């Protein structure tokens, strides 16, 4: 047997370095630190908006305990973690930003007493540890010496406006009296919390099928709660779009360098993401920087291809603000500053489809418009344009019928999705609240038709092959129509050509 057999596997990561552990070191490292309460703490920007969101949850589930985890840190490899990002429902209800707060729980506890209504809400999280604790200097995952200071209970209350408590006893609060109190848990955020709640339910012989159905209903409701954005959310989306515009400008300016690099797509990706990181939290999703035929792969995120003269580059990217609201914009750029005749014909077809979708959405002022109608309006144009190109094997009407859909060969994705804390926001909403819902003021979604003609597609003319075009904007439904939140981006063919010619003059011809 190995001499190391008795060593705990979980401890072996420490073999890569020697950490001091003498009594003298422990005494010395615990002394001489300013541990006064953190100062200059102010409420988070969302703090005045989150009480109404929590109140809506309380009204929807009276008399029930509601548990919303932030989620744990996730291992990237060995002893390194991914950058933390809390569950969107937790962010929405607390207003916390950036990398706050792994392992936290937001708990709605039904008010006590006969006739009592509502809930008391507590944010359970890991507060700042004392300098005299092992965690302070030794814990590379949570220790202040390693990852920086955290809030104490008092400052977190100031920042969020929520009563706080130490998460070391959170699970006792979550699982207590489970036989007499109904508990709904947001699943999919923290498997450790799920296991503890499931075990507690089993111990009191709870109806597990009914409990899981209740959990699903909570997830569904918290998703639907974000369908209508408040003013703060819209402001944050505007901010994310502003950052995204800076990133696109950098990406356009990088086109000459991209052509000269073996991984030109990655030059474009890096140019965008540097702006997103400098001015915001980062990117809201993996950037698509797809040149030539790669633009016909809808979720091309490898971004390791070459960028050639004469190519189109499809850039689908969104900056994420510190508040974690994200933009989602796509522009298709001619590398040399000018679309060819065929590229321009395809681009204008996609733009016409986008314009039709905008026009349909604006009709909600005059009569009800369903979310699905926006897609249908774009598809009518796409089908007609493909017919005009001589590509449809059937009539436009037959292709648009449910039994047809041949036009979707060249645009298999949908035209729109909701946008907010998630790039595909509110995804757990019921069909009648999403796809079949009427457009209402405060909804924010994308309009993003496209056409994709793969190099391997033998059903299109050779001059079409290897061309992919998508145009995507972020849209706010208002009381008097719709607002294109990304209207500051060049959009028409002439505008895009002028954009490239101005910022990447070395490529323009």
% of the chain at pLDDT higher than 90? 90
Helix (H, G, I), strand (E, B) or coil at 105: strand
Enter the tokens of residue 201: 């339910």
* Boundary residue ending a domain (224, 259, 294): 224
Structural domain contains residue 24: no
- Per the domain annotation, does 13 fall within a domain? no
Residue 97 inside a domain? The answer is yes
Q: What is the pLDDT of residue 5?
A: 57
User: Region 470-488: what's the mean pLDDT?
Assistant: 98
Query: What's the pLDDT score for residue 113?
Result: 66
Comparing 12 with 256, the larger pLDDT belongs to 256
- Tell me which of 224, 244, 276 is where a domain ends: 224
| Average pLDDT rounded to a whole number, residues 54-73 | 97
Nearest alpha-carbon partner for 381 in 352, 358, 402: 352
Distance CA 486, CA 489 (A): 6
Calpha distance 430→219 (Å, rounded): 11
343 and 392 fall within a common domain: yes
What's the rounded mean pLDDT across residues 473-486? Answer: 98
CATH (domain of 100): 3.40.350.10
Average pLDDT, the chain: 95
Residue that wins the pLDDT comparison between 244 and 8: 244
Whether residue 106 has pLDDT greater than 90: yes
Confidence band (pLDDT; 50, 70, 90) for 12?
low
Give 455's pLDDT tier (boundaries 50, 70, 90).
Answer: very high
Phi, psi dihedral angles at 444 (to 5 degrees): -130, 125
pLDDT for res 1: 47
* 3-class DSSP state of 405: coil
CB atoms within 10 A of CB 54: 21
Same domain, 219 and 71: yes
Q: Does any domain span residue 450? A: yes
Q: Are 167 and 196 in contact (CB under 8 A)?
A: no
Long-range Cβ pairs for the range 174-181 (8 Å, 24+)? 174/65, 174/67, 174/105, 174/107, 174/200, 175/200, 178/203, 178/204, 178/206, 179/204, 179/206, 181/64, 181/65, 181/110
Tell me if 437 is assigned to some domain.
yes
pLDDT at 508 over 70: no
Residue 293's pLDDT band (cuts 50, 70, 90): very high
Sort 200 into a burial class: Cβ within 10 Å, 0-12 / 13-18 / 19+.
middle
Q: 378-413, pLDDT tens digit by residue?
A: 999 999 999 999 999 999 999 999 999 999 999 999
Among candidate residues 505, 447, 433, 455, the one with its CA nearest the CA of residue 476: 447
Same domain, 362 and 427: yes
Predicted confidence at residue 115, as pLDDT, reads: 66
Asked whether residue 262 falls in the same domain as residue 157, the answer is no
Instruction: Tell me: do 206 and 304 sit in the same domain.
Output: no
Q: Are 337 and 500 in contact (CB under 8 A)?
A: yes
Q: Is 20 within the bounds of a domain?
A: no
Which of 193, 224, 255 corresponds to the end of one domain? 224
- Residue 509 forms part of a structural domain: no
What CATH number corresponds to the domain at position 405? Answer: 3.90.230.10
Contact yes or no for 227/437 (Cβ under 8 A): yes
pLDDT, one tens digit per residue, over 155-187 is: 999 999 999 999 999 999 999 999 899 999 999
Assess whether 236 and 318 both reside in one domain.
yes
Residue 1 in domain: no
Structurally, how many domains does the chain consist of? 2
Same domain, yes or no: 217 and 359: no
Characterize the bridge pairing of strands 80-81 and 329-334.
unpaired
Same domain? For 201 and 326 the reply is: no
Q: Are 282 and 247 in contact (CB under 8 A)?
A: no
pLDDT band at 35 (very low <50, low <70, confident <90, very high): confident
Same domain (yes/no): 159, 249: no
- What's the pTM? 0.95
Chain position carrying tokens 């954005």? 229
Report pLDDT for 20: 85
**Owning domain of residue 384:** 231-503
DSSP string, 58-99: HHHSTTSEEEEE-----EEETTEEPPP---HHHHHHH---TT
User: Is 281 in the same domain as 145?
Assistant: no
Q: Is the pLDDT of residue 201 over 50?
A: yes
H or E element, residue 480 = none
Q: Is residue 210 located within the same domain as residue 242?
A: no
* Average pLDDT score over residue span 46-70: 98
Q: What is the mean pLDDT of residues 40-62?
A: 97
Q: Would you state the pLDDT for residue 309?
A: 96
Average pLDDT over residues 71-97: 96
171 and 284 housed in the same domain: no
The whole-number average pLDDT for the span 294-298 is 98
Average pLDDT of span 469-473: 98
User: Is 472:328 a contact under the CB 8 Å cutoff?
Assistant: yes
């Amino acid at each position: 047997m190995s001499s190391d057999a008795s060593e705990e596997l979980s401890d072996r990561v420490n073999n890569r370095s020697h950490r001091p552990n003498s009594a003298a070191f422990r005494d010395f490292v615990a002394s001489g630190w300013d541990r006064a309460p953190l100062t200059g703490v102010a409420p988070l920007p969302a703090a005045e908006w989150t009480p109404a969101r929590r109140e809506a949850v309380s009204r929807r589930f009276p008399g029930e305990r509601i548990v919303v985890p932030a989620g744990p840190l996730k291992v990237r490899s060995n002893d390194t973690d991914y950058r933390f990002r809390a569950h969107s429902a937790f962010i929405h209800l607390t207003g916390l930003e950036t990398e706050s707060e792994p392992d936290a729980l937001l708990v709605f506890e039904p008010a006590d007493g006969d006739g009592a209504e509502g809930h008391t809400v507590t944010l359970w999280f890991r507060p700042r540890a004392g300098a005299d604790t092992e965690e302070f200097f030794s814990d590379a995952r949570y220790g202040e010496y390693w990852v920086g200071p955290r809030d104490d209970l008092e400052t977190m209350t100031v920042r969020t406006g929520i009563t706080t408590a130490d998460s070391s006893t959170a699970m006792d609060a979550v699982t207590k009296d489970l036989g007499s109190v109904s508990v709904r848990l947001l699943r999919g955020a923290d498997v450790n919390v799920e296991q503890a709640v499931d075990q507690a339910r089993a111990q009191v012989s709870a109806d597990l099928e009914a409990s899981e159905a209740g959990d699903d209903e909570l997830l569904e409701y918290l998703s639907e709660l974000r369908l209508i954005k408040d003013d703060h959310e819209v402001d944050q989306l505007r901010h994310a779009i502003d950052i995204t515009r800076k990133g696109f400008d950098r990406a356009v300016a990088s086109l000459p360098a991209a052509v000269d690099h073996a991984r030109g797509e990655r030059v474009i990706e890096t140019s965008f993401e540097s702006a997103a990181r400098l001015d915001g939290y980062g990117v809201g999703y993996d950037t698509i920087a797809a040149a030539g035929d790669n633009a016909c792969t809808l979720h091309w995120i490898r971004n390791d291809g070459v960028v050639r003269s004469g190519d189109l580059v499809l850039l689908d990217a969104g900056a994420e603000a510190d508040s974690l609201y994200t933009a989602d914009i796509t522009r298709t750029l001619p590398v040399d500053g000018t679309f060819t005749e065929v590229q321009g014909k395809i681009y204008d077809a996609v733009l016409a489809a986008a314009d039709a979708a905008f026009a349909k959405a604006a009709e909600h002022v005059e009569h009800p418009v369903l979310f699905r109608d926006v897609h249908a309006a774009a598809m009518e144009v796409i089908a007609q344009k493909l017919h005009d190109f001589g590509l449809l094997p059937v009539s436009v009407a037959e292709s648009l019928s449910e039994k047809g859909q041949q036009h979707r060969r060249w645009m298999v994705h949908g035209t729109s999705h909701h946008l907010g804390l998630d790039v595909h926001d509110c995804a757990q909403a019921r069909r009648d609240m999403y796809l079949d819902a009427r457009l209402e003021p405060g909804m924010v979604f994308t309009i993003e038709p496209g056409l994709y003609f793969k190099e391997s597609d033998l059903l299109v003319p050779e001059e079409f092959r290897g061309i992919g075009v998508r145009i995507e904007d972020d849209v706010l439904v208002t009381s008097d129509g719709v607002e294109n939140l990304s209207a500051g981006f060049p959009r028409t063919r002439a505008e895009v050509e002028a954009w490239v010619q101005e910022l990447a003059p070395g490529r323009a011809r």
